[in-house]
Amino acid sequence: MPTIKVSKRTVEAAPIPVGKDAFYWDSKISGFGIRVTPRGVRSYVVQYRLPGQNSRRLTLGRHNSPWTPDQARTYAIDLLTEVRKGVDPLQVRRDRARAAKEMRFDRYVEDFCDKYLKAGWPDSWSLAKRRLDMYAVPVLRSKPLPEISKRDIVAIIDAIREQRALARNTHAVLRMLFNWAVDRDDLDRSPMHGLKAPPAPKARRRVLSPDEILALWLASYELNPPFDTFIRLLICTLQRRQEVAALPWLELNQDRHLWQLDGSRAKNGTSHLVPLNGLAMAELKRLGWKNHGLVLTTTGETPISGFSKQKARLDKLFASHLQRIADARASLEDEEPRPVEIAPWVLHDIRRTGTTQLQALGIPIEVTERCINHVGTEVAGIRGVYNRYDYLAEKSQAFRACGGFLQRLLNDNPLIALAERERQGRATQKNGNVVYLSEMRSAERRA
């Protein structure tokens, strides 16, 4: 085979062959050379042989696109040094191409979701995947996992750092994804190793007022099914959002008025008995009791989702109803109506509001904690291990009290009282003896 001293001049002067490619090998570096095609394309190549194998040839790249002779020679020396160590450069290139295709981040997210999240987080996998799709995939896109650095992760978290809960949760699911990749031997080391989680959000203290609870209940009727029922079941049962959203009919006992939440669906992994008060039973009866499937679904197969969109609509309805309630109350008390101001709130505040109300109704704290399946100090340590009492009777009493409180809010709705007052006023005005219903009720209470 012809040899030349590979340089810019000799590469460009190499004759163009006819019929098939021609190879010219460097006179100084064995295995390094150029290939010239019948079309005149000049490329740098490396040829090598591993013990017990046939010769292999690797194309480095075209001359001047972007390789120069010196760059190509230096890279060829590095590759041939690796060959002497038993490394196959062609196989390394193939592995990198496979990683770029099979381990690109956006595709790996799908794999992680199908093989891990859906099994490990059956009730919240869709929310975890949504965080990856919305905040991580747009940044990392098709970047192969082995090329993702700590700086890439920091860029994702910094973009949402002001939203503390979101940043912390996104950090958690990313850490889980990369740890899973390490466990599967797809990565040697997680890029999140040593990267501290964002600070935890401040504890929320938002509790809805009685008028806000009433407004929320009334506003729920204007949502599309089954989100209307979903909101009212949150208020009646005080359980977590996803536990209610993914509620299967098999967990409900119509005769015993009981919901037996399976531990696999509970956030803390603990099974839980939830007595169903009259309002909750009425909501389920309205749906029509079944013995299979999901209670709340729009597809017949998957739990409801799209909470952010529904919450945005609910906020507008909530504000409208709260203003109407405030106006009606002002009218009943002969005061000037004022615009209401609503502090920011989230669906989880319904749960906090309910537990606060249970305390106001005189329910002991240990019963309240068991009503919401909260693993706190009362169920930890020796007491948690040896006290296996289910508090079913006490929880039933607590949820009945909660239902009674809600029913009183509905019965004492100022919108109804105002309408009855106006109707009663019209009916008795002719006699010059106006007795308003609100005044009659006040007299009855005093009596």
| Banded model confidence at residue 63, pLDDT cuts 50, 70, 90 | very high
Encode pLDDT of 185-200 as tens digits.
888 899 999 999 999 8
Predicted confidence (pLDDT) at residue 425 exceeds the cutoff of 90: no
Which residue, 187, 180, 175, 108, is CA-closest to 146?
A: 187
| Banded model confidence at residue 249, pLDDT cuts 50, 70, 90 | very high
Predicted confidence (pLDDT) at residue 157 exceeds the cutoff of 90: yes
Query: Cα separation of 117 and 124, whole Å?
Result: 8
Show Cβ contacts of residue 263 under 8 Å, excluding neighbours closer than 6 positions.
269, 270, 271, 272
The more confidently predicted of residues 19 and 439 is 19
Encode pLDDT of 313-366 as tens digits.
999 999 999 999 999 999 989 899 899 999 999 999 999 999 999 999 999 999
Two tokens at 21? Answer: 């490619």
Asked if residues 29 and 77 have their Cβ atoms less than 8 Å apart, the reply is: yes
Task: Report the predicted TM-score, pTM, of the whole model to 2 decimal places.
Answer: 0.60
Query: Cα separation of 279 and 404, whole Å?
Result: 9
Show Cβ contacts of residue 140 under 8 Å, excluding neighbours closer than 6 positions.
105, 106, 148, 152, 156
Exposure b/e, 1-20, CB count within 10 A at least 16 = b: eeebebeeeebeebeeeeee
Mean pLDDT of 62-82: 93
Asked if residues 27 and 47 have their Cβ atoms less than 8 Å apart, the reply is: no
pLDDT at 375: 66
Q: For all residues of the chain together, what is the average pLDDT? A: 88
Residue 49, number of CB atoms within 10 A of its CB: 11
Residue 51, classed as helix, strand or coil, is: coil
Q: Which domains does the chain have, with CATH numbers?
A: 3-88 (3.30.160.390), 103-183 (1.10.150), 210-410 (1.10.443.10), 413-446 (no CATH)
Asked if residues 48 and 56 have their Cβ atoms less than 8 Å apart, the reply is: yes
Mean pLDDT of 406-413: 93
| Banded model confidence at residue 99, pLDDT cuts 50, 70, 90 | low
Query: Cα separation of 207 and 420, whole Å?
Result: 30
Share of the chain above pLDDT 90, in %: 70
Predicted confidence (pLDDT) at residue 274 exceeds the cutoff of 80: yes
Predicted confidence (pLDDT) at residue 100 exceeds the cutoff of 70: no
Mean pLDDT of 20-36: 95
Query: Cα separation of 332 and 441, whole Å?
Result: 12
